[in-house]
Amino acid sequence: MPVVGEEAVEADAGLVDLIGRPGERCWIVDPLDGTSNFAAGKATFAIIVALVEDGRTVGGWILDVPNGRLAVALAGQGVTLDGKVVVGAPGGGSPSGFVGYKIRKAVECQLPAVRRRGLGPVSTLRCAGVEYLEILAGRAAFRIYRHTKPWDHAAGALMLAEAGGGAVRFDGDDYAPAQASDAGIIGAPSRQALVEVRAAFEALDVPLLQSAED
């Protein structure tokens, strides 16, 4: 079965087309997610693996290597974090989340006060895998990024969907691992949180969710 990963795609860009090919299966692997953290000696990096069949993610695994945390999701069978089933979103308070650097700056400068009060802190761990685990652990409620490389998001998006939420593109369509890398992603572990977060970010004075820049 073919393996698609960041390093392999750099050597052969055509490999990424395998992800959306009808009737076929492939593995998507990121052996070191959070490379800059790892290089700086920070304990925030992960291994991400996803299994794609007929253009959709059917299995996902994320291992937080330094801390030994493991999340596993199988389509239609739920998601677990360290063997415990995860369902729904963290409750109470203003939702915090993970966003890209420029989105964070725009939130602070542009988001109307009435909307900003409905959100908690926004930040980035510079490691997609660990961010997804933090959401599953109930320590964050959403993540929003413009660039959606499949090795960063295919496994995590399935996990959020299996928890009772999901992930959508900036245009509102469901996330898919073969989508264009600039289509964006908004993910949350409950459908209600997904709707509320998307509505808050659409209130930006500059239509951030329609921008292709990062």
Rounded (10°) CA dihedral 192, 198, 199, 203: 160
Same domain, 102 and 204: yes
Residue 36 placed within a domain: yes
Name the H helices within 61-100. none
Same domain, 81 and 148: no
pLDDT level of residue 15 (50, 70, 90 thresholds): confident
Q: Give the domain range for residue 138.
A: 97-210
Same domain, 105 and 204: yes
Element (H, E) at 128: helix 128-136
Residue 91 placed within a domain: no
Residue 180 placed within a domain: yes
CA distance 49 to 43: 19
Name the nearest CA neighbour of 149 among 43, 14, 5: 5
pLDDT at 99: 85
Same domain, 151 and 65: no
Q: What are the tens digits of pLDDT across the range 52-108?
A: 999 999 999 999 999 999 999 999 999 999 999 999 765 555 678 898 766 766 666
Residue 90 placed within a domain: no
The residue that leads in pLDDT, 202 or 184, is 184
Q: Which of 13-17, 39-43, 108-112, 180-184 is predicted with the least confidence, judged by mean pLDDT? A: 108-112
Q: What are the tens digits of pLDDT across the range 188-200?
A: 999 888 888 887 7
Residue 92 placed within a domain: no
Domain boundary among 85, 114, 134: 85
Could you give the number of structural domains in the chain?
2
Same domain, 47 and 128: no
Name the nearest CA neighbour of 115 among 199, 177, 37, 8: 199
Nearest 5°: CA angle at 29, between 59 and 132?
65
Q: What are the tens digits of pLDDT across the range 117-174?
A: 556 777 889 999 999 999 999 999 999 888 899 999 999 999 999 999 999 998 889 9
**Quick check: pTM over 0.85?**
yes
pLDDT at 201: 73
pLDDT level of residue 212 (50, 70, 90 thresholds): very low
Name the nearest CA neighbour of 46 among 23, 26, 30, 22: 30
Q: What are the tens digits of pLDDT across the range 80-90?
A: 999 999 997 65
Same domain, 205 and 101: yes
pLDDT at 94: 64
Same domain, 70 and 166: no
